[in-house]
Amino acid sequence: MPPLIRWLQTQKRDEHYACELTAEQSPGEESSYRPSVAINIWVTCPAHQSNISPERDSDMSIQQPENSTSPATAVTSTGDQHEPTRPGGEPPISIDRSLLRLGAALGALGVVLQIIMDRLHPHRVDPNDSAAVFREYAISDIWTAVHIGQFAGTLFIVLGLIALGRSLARQSGFPGALGTVGTVTAVLVAAVFAVQMAVDGVTLKAAIDAWIGAINPAEQAAAFQVAESVRWTEKGLGGFFQLIQGITILTLGLSMAFDRRYPKWLGWIGVLAGTAIVAGGTVTAHTGFSAQAGQILLPGTLLLAVFLVVAFITMWRRSAER
């Protein structure tokens, strides 16, 4: 269809009038006709335009080529792109393959980084024995650096979980909603852990150094109380970090259990891991870094490691699918 239709002369009985039917292509579009191109049409007629007969009106209709696509089916959404549904009603493979691959790579890197930082972190004494813990922390020269590394590792894992959650959210119904919830709570995991690492890696170390450097018993007692208060702030943050982390893994695992693109058994592993971590976080919030909390968190942490590693491997493989 030409981009410009100039003058169409119509006539009714003895009255003559001109009707200008102008069809202009939207700015920035090419001149060649495409069915999906939006056309803006203005019709300017004299005052007696209302006298146009139905026959003449129908003559002025713009005919569309036979094999062209109707505007209703040709116009595509300008929002988020969606893939066609796969055979058998299976959810579509994510079109954002780069996000899946980046999330898998960063998540795997985060797991490795957390293992390294855990080996470097001093933890040879009872974590609930504050005096022993403070002495152990005081002699560490890499204390703050280790906690920066722990934060980086957790942040990378969270980015991987966000990519996973976005993929799971493409499902319809309740499983897709769970994927969205898991994505949101994953962001909260990184936020809470950032505060915890700032308290543990910076504030607590300064309070411990002040306690170690105190000269007389009165100053030592006051400095110890300050450090103990900071330590309990860290314990509180740790408990809530575990709660939010467990909820994230629980919701993502449950969503994955209903997703045909991921192993169902892996989804249930995530559900078990998340449940154990939520229970451990509840105990931590009440008792601090106690042996009871550790007994619950240990199996949850092992299941979490399996869930993360397999999930990131699966994401990497799916990013290469065609």
Asked whether the CA dihedral 47, 51, 56, 62 is positive or negative, the reply is positive
Q: Provide the 8-state DSSP code for 250.
A: H
Q: Which residue has the tokens 């898998």?
A: 104
Side by side, the strands of the sheet bearing 7-12 are 7-12, 15-25, 39-44
Please state the pTM of the whole predicted model: 0.70
Amino acid 322: pLDDT: 61
Q: Which helix (H) or strand (E) holds 84?
A: none
Helices of type H across the chain: 54-59, 71-74, 97-120, 130-138, 143-168, 173-198, 204-213, 217-257, 264-287, 291-319
- The neighbouring-strand residues paired with 40 are 24
R_g over Cα of the chain: 32
Q: Are 117 and 108 in contact (CB under 8 A)?
A: no
Assigned token pair, 41 = 């049409």
Assigned token pair, 104 = 């898998």
- Residue 137 exposed, middle or buried by CB count within 10 Å (0-12, 13-18, 19+): buried
Q: Where are the domains of the chain?
A: 1-55, 96-317
- 3-class DSSP state for residue 253? helix
Amino acid 177: pLDDT: 93
Residue 158's nearest CA partner among 67, 82, 291, 248 is 248
Between CA 278 and CA 44 the distance in angstroms is: 69
Residue 251's nearest CA partner among 152, 128, 168 is 168
Between CA 183 and CA 164 the distance in angstroms is: 8
Between CA 181 and CA 166 the distance in angstroms is: 10
Q: Rounded to the nearest 5 degrees, what angle is found at the Cα of 167, between the Cα atoms of 177 and 301?
A: 85
Mind listing the pLDDT tens digit of every residue in the chain (322 residues)? 444 444 444 444 444 444 444 444 444 444 444 443 333 333 344 444 444 444 444 444 444 444 444 443 333 333 344 444 444 444 454 457 888 999 999 999 999 999 999 999 988 888 889 899 999 998 888 999 999 999 999 999 999 999 999 989 888 889 899 999 999 999 999 999 999 999 999 999 999 999 998 888 899 999 999 999 999 999 999 999 999 999 999 999 999 999 888 899 999 999 999 999 999 999 999 999 999 999 999 999 999 999 999 999 999 988 777 6
Amino acid 195: pLDDT: 96
